[in-house]
């Protein structure tokens, strides 16, 4: 008979409060994501055992039920593979924690930890050209407060390559608008980075703050209720801007555009303008250079230049057509 081990409630309490909260010091967003996963999983297991969540034991959480839960997420809840893998990561993290603290549960934990992440189809990375960026940003009218806010936010996303949550977490104290202008972003893993601002973005931000005064601790981008703008709320508005901009730029209808698209876009444009990938790595706050290198692969401009070099000199145009576009050259010089 198996010796008595720690109760499930005690282990979950230690995992969330001691391990995640104090020892790992993970972000609140990660804690909430793990919490939501465990709420779903415990309810699922309780339903399978026809009992109450409060009566579940650690030994009830078997590998078979983990697999059944993952299948339930995909088939019944219509979760995508990425969501399925995120839920599994939350479960595996707990069982890894338990394996170190309850030797009697080591075999059970090992079985769960063997459940693999699922590979899913990878979408081609979407990014915008300069005219498409301008068309979208121009749809956010500066004549109204929400429009001015969105105009500044879109410009900031493109300038800094910030993730949407990084931008929405900005407070007034994080903005330094005196030369050299920059903002302080808090990224994944609580890593801070300083993102430089172009003069145009700095002026937009200064004007926005002047018309919308904020205390040092206030969030920069707020909704009509004076609380922090949510990512879902902004995505809804972005879809409207993209649809309106598609009247002038029909190519936008062929692309799936999210706030993250602006992050991809500035990275590709920086590669096209000759910025070293190690600089772009710091710009975007990537932990590994391999992550940044995908933008060099995606950059069609780089591929076009390589193709030009393969053409015999006798067949090359003295001045390539793309170099005759003064507006494009001026834009690249401004990066």
- Region(s) of the chain under CATH 1.10.443.10: 130-334
For the segment(s) 8-113, the CATH number from 1.10.10, 3.10.450, 1.10.150, 3.30.43 is 1.10.150
- Residue 67, pLDDT > 90, answer yes
Active site annotation includes 188: yes
* 243-288 pLDDT per residue, tens: 999 999 999 999 999 999 999 999 888 888 888 888 888 888 887 7
* 121-147 pLDDT per residue, tens: 777 778 899 999 999 999 997 668 899
User: For position 3, what pLDDT does the model report?
Assistant: 41
Name the active-site residue from 163, 237, 264, 281: 163
Distance between CA atoms of residues 256 and 7, nearest Å: 47
Residues pairing with 171 in the sheet: 219
Q: What is the mean pLDDT of residues 299-305?
A: 55
| 296 to 24, 66, 68, 256, 287: CA distances (angstroms) | 34, 39, 40, 20, 17
For the chain, give the percent of residues with pLDDT over 70. Answer: 85
User: For position 35, what pLDDT does the model report?
Assistant: 96
**Phi-psi region at 161: left, alpha or beta (left = phi > 0; alpha = psi -120 to 50):** left
- Region(s) of the chain under CATH 1.10.150: 8-113
pTM as predicted? 0.70
Active site annotation includes 13: no
User: For position 281, what pLDDT does the model report?
Assistant: 86
pLDDT band at 27 (very low <50, low <70, confident <90, very high): confident
User: For position 108, what pLDDT does the model report?
Assistant: 95
Q: Which of 334, 335, 201, 329 is nearest to 279 (CA)?
A: 335
Q: Kindly tell me the sign of the dihedral angle through the C-alpha atoms of 326, 331, 334, 335.
A: negative
Name the active-site residue from 92, 188, 228, 235: 188
Active site annotation includes 176: no
Assigned token pair, 326: 């003064």
* 88-124 pLDDT per residue, tens: 999 999 999 999 998 899 999 999 999 999 998 777 7
Counting every residue written for the chain, the total comes to 335
Name the active-site residue from 87, 149, 263, 281: 263
User: For position 310, what pLDDT does the model report?
Assistant: 47
Number of Cα atoms under 13 Å in the Cβ half of residue 66 = 24
90, with CB counted inside 10 A (0-12, 13-18, 19+), is middle
Active site annotation includes 163: yes
Name the active-site residue from 127, 158, 241, 295: 295
User: For position 299, what pLDDT does the model report?
Assistant: 60
User: For position 335, what pLDDT does the model report?
Assistant: 53
Q: How many CB atoms lie within 10 A of CB 75?
A: 9
Please state which architecture CATH assigns to domain 130-334: Orthogonal Bundle (1.10)
- Residue 72, pLDDT > 90, answer yes
User: For position 319, what pLDDT does the model report?
Assistant: 53
Active site annotation includes 263: yes
Helix (H, G, I), strand (E, B) or coil at 110: helix
């Amino acid at each position: 008979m198996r010796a008595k081990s720690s109760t499930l409630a005690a282990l979950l309490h230690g995992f969330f409060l001691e391990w995640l909260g104090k020892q790992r010091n993970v972000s609140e967003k990660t804690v909430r994501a793990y919490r939501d996963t465990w709420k779903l999983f415990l309810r699922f297991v309780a339903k399978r055992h026809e009992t109450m969540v409060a009566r579940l034991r650690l030994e009830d959480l078997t590998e078979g039920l983990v697999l059944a839960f993952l299948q339930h997420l995909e088939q019944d809840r219509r979760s995508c593979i990425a969501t399925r893998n995120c839920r599994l990561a939350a479960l595996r993290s707990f069982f890894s924690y338990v394996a170190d603290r309850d030797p009697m549960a080591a075999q059970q934990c090992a079985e769960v930890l063997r459940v693999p992440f699922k590979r899913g189809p990878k979408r081609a990375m979407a990014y915008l050209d300069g005219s498409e960026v301008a068309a979208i940003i121009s749809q956010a009218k500066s004549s109204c407060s929400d429009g001015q806010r969105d105009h500044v936010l879109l410009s900031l996303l493109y300038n800094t390559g910030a993730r949407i949550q990084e931008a929405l977490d900005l407070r007034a104290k994080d903005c330094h608008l005196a030369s050299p202008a920059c903002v302080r972003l808090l990224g994944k893993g609580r890593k801070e980075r300083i993102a430089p601002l172009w003069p145009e973005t700095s002026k937009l931000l200064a004007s926005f703050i002047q018309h919308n005064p904020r205390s040092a601790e206030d969030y920069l981008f707020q909704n009509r209720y004076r609380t922090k703008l949510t990512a879902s709320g902004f995505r809804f508005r972005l879809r409207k801007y993209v649809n309106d901009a598609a009247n002038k730029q029909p190519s936008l209808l062929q692309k799936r555009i999210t706030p993250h698209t602006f992050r991809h876009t500035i990275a590709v444009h920086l590669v096209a303008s000759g910025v070293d990938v190690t600089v772009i790595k710091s710009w975007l706050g990537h932990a590994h250079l391999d992550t940044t290198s995908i933008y060099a692969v995606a950059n069609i401009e780089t591929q076009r230049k390589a193709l030009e070099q393969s053409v015999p000199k006798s067949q090359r145009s003295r001045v390539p057509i793309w170099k005759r576009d003064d507006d494009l050259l001026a834009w690249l010089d401004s990066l």
